[in-house]
Amino acid sequence: MTDQNGTSVEQIVEKVWLSIAERRLRPGVQLKEEQMAAIFNVSRARIRQALSTLQRDGLITIIPNRGAFVSKPSVEEARDVFFVRRTVERCVVERLCKGISKAEVKRLREHVAKERIANADDVTTDIIKLSGGFHLLLAETVGSDFLFATMRDLIARSSLITAVYRNTNRFNCGPDEHAEIVEAIVGNDVNKASHLMAHHLEHVESELDLTEIRDLSHDLRAALA
């Protein structure tokens, strides 16, 4: 989905998300179609497609007759999202502990291996994608469309929350804790897997400063350049 001289919808979505995740775009900043079209050298129709995807992922809010804005999660919403994640992800690991194939185990371990490489090389884009991708892969492995769709929404929202509120310059949803969760699932140890997941999410949430939205950039061109 790329014009001869333009940027694909997927690339635009990734650039906007990374700008939010790296705290170069602040919540509430307007994503103006005309300006974005000039930045990415594409039509406004292409930008509208990208904005539609970002809205679906909960990263932006489109207000009729006003435009698209980076979503502004409240502190209450942040706490609610992580509360729901703890509940849903406990359900996910409990389901997986009841039975998981060798092929699925291999896929999970390979994902963790990719996370380790990204962390060792300090590749921010890959760290962000793979970190949330691990949790999404767990939900996908369960085989429930409902759980997968629920986790996809929760991960998108919690990624935005983490980008806005995290109290460190690094994402610390690390591969070591993910690896421990995988091995507990492989061992069919429901109590251990549930405990490790709860501890892991508490660790991620503990790195958030749920007091205020930080003053990120208002400059769309500077953030997306």
Higher pLDDT, 14 or 12: 12
Residues 6+ apart with CB under 8 A from 85: 154, 158, 201
Q: How many CB atoms within 10 Å of residue 14?
A: 16
Maximal C-alpha separation, the chain: 54
Site of tokens 């590749």: 123
107: pLDDT strictly greater than 50:
yes
pTM of the complete model? 0.74
**pLDDT digits 0-9 by tens, 203-217:** 888 888 877 555 555
92-106, 128-142, 148-162: which range is least confident on average? 148-162
- Taking alpha carbons only, the member of 123, 144, 137, 121 closest to residue 181 is 137
The string of DSSP letters for 100-162 reads --HHHHHHHHHHHHHHHHHHHHT-HHHHHHHHHHHHHHHHHHHT-HHHHHHHHHHHHHHHHHH
**Which neighbouring-strand residues pair with 208?**
166
What is the rounded average pLDDT of the residues 70-80? Answer: 89
